[in-house]
Amino acid sequence: MNQDEALSLRQRGVILPLEQFIERALRLHPGARLLEAELEEKNNMYVYEFELLTPQGVVRELKFDASSSKLLKDEDD
């Protein structure tokens, strides 16, 4: 999904702000670095997907429902 589509969804209140999810993902894994962030549509649901690199060198994949902020996945990638 491109930036314009994501901005339109945000402005219409369909999804919550990306920054909110980045902060939450980093709070779940203190000291981790954000490697990748993207917004995807899956099964009529918008999902923020993140890859984090933990201080231990482990890559974690996190997924959040972009509308409700529910954590859908948090596991080693």
Q: Which residues pair with 60 in a beta bridge?
A: 52, 76
**Domain covering 3-76 in this structure, CATH number:** 3.10.450.40
Residue 42: CA count within 13 A, CB half-sphere: 11
Neighbours of 31 (CB within 10 A): 10
pLDDT score of 65 = 98
pLDDT score of 42 = 86
* Euclidean distance between CA atoms 27 and 49, whole angstroms: 15
Q: Please give the helix or strand (H or E) that residue 3 lies within, else none.
A: helix 3-11
pLDDT score of 2 = 87
Q: How confident is the model at residue 76 (pLDDT cuts 50, 70, 90)?
A: very high
For 14-69, what is each residue's pLDDT tens digit?
A: 999 999 999 999 999 999 999 999 999 988 899 999 999 999 999 999 999 999 99
Q: Please give the helix or strand (H or E) that residue 59 lies within, else none.
A: strand 59-65
Domain map of the chain by residue range? 3-76
